[in-house]
Structure 1
Amino acid sequence: MWSSDDPSLRTQIAALSPTVSPDEARRVAYTAYMTGRELHREWRVAWLPGIQNFLVNMGARKGGLCFQWATELLVRLDALKLQTLELHWAESGPNTGAEHNVIVVTARGQPFGEGILLDLWRYSGTLNKSELARRLGGRGDVASKQVRSTTKSN
């Protein structure tokens, strides 16, 4: 879906906890979709992620590897200065050729495994979201690092 006004994602984020601000849920959904759109254009993304990876590794494209999508999304979401939501970096298959990186959104203090996975790489800038962060990998395959600037006390 290319809609930056996705009521489904806003509702999923807001439903993480009664403490989640509906405005923050809206801003996260909007930012995730718009980041995908903007980077798709800027990086001249090929439809298949594997082709984009090849083009990036050959120097023919500026960006489009999964960690680049995740990093750019994280930077933009972090700039929102969220108070009721936390951002997590997630990876599957770390330090392997199959490593994959995404961002997971949780309510403040909520376990990582209950978050919503946001992946811009899998569909070349079209947001792929999942309610279950565990879906990212097999048992013991998912690692999480809290983003310091979004988890500090105010």
Structure 2
Amino acid sequence: MYRHLLKFFFILFLLTGCTVKPVPLKDTEVKRLSIMLQQMDRSIEAKMADRLSKDLFIQTAQLTRKFDLTSPPWLHNTLVNTGFRQKGLCYDWSDALYIYMIKQAYPDFSFHLGGANIGRYWSEHNVLVITAKGKPFDTGIVIDPWRNSGKLYFSKVKDDVQYKWKERKDRCISKRKKDDR
């Protein structure tokens, strides 16, 4: 009897987890990311970096609603893995942002998929990485809305002490197009 009651309350907890509302756009954070984007290369114009930065925050808010995000991330992952949510795993975030960004007009930037602990079920993590056009992956900026449940985390690849990022060329669009031929 108690076991069934415990199961009921556990399922109720999972279904009623803290739903996340999109984080309001903070001009200071948008500007901070824009400055980081500009610092990647002298040829990057402030207007373009401002537009990209704002676009990333807006897309994060839209995906937060689309994924019906629950906090903390491990709880949302549990809901996805048990079928109570459709999407919202870290690779859903990185893929959605990647696909959106490569369709936009950002000629000064390149967009990459990044991964850490690749192949390890419990610790693999995926992100979007932005570099200046033609620059190496490790000079880029990590864009990670999953880590803080819809609050956009960003950092230089080299400065992100929580993960050791590697480029996931095998998952990028150009690789997929070649494989489809």
Q: TM-score, normalised by structure 2?
A: 0.73
Write the distance in 1 (CA, Å) between the matches of 2:37 and 2:136.
14
Going from structure 1 to structure 2, the CA distance change for 1:121 and 1:113 (only over 3 Å counts) comes to same
Identity among equivalent pairs (%) = 27
In 2, distance between residues paired with 1:122 and 1:2? 17
Contact preservation (8 Å) 2:70, 2:149: yes
Q: 1:14 aligns with which of 38, 44, 52?
A: 38
Match of 1:122 in 2: 147
Runs of 4 or more above 6 Å deviation: none
Q: Tell me the equivalent position of 2:25.
A: 3
Alpha-carbon distance in structure 2 between the residues aligned to 1:3 and 1:93? 31
Counterpart in the other structure of 1:48: 72
Q: 1:134: how far off?
A: 6.2
Q: How many residues align?
A: 147
Tell me how large the CA RMSD over aligned residues is: 2.1
Q: 1:102 aligns with which of 117, 120, 127?
A: 127
CA drift at 1:122: 0.4
CA–CA distance in 1 between the matches of 2:47 and 2:103?
15
Displacement of 1:99 in angstroms is 1.0
Look up the match of 1:148. Answer: 174
- The answer for the alignment partner of 2:14 in structure 1 is none
Structure 1: unaligned runs, 5 residues or longer: 150-154
Larger gyration radius, structure 1 or structure 2: 2
Any stretches of 5+ residues in structure 2 without a counterpart? 1-22, 176-181
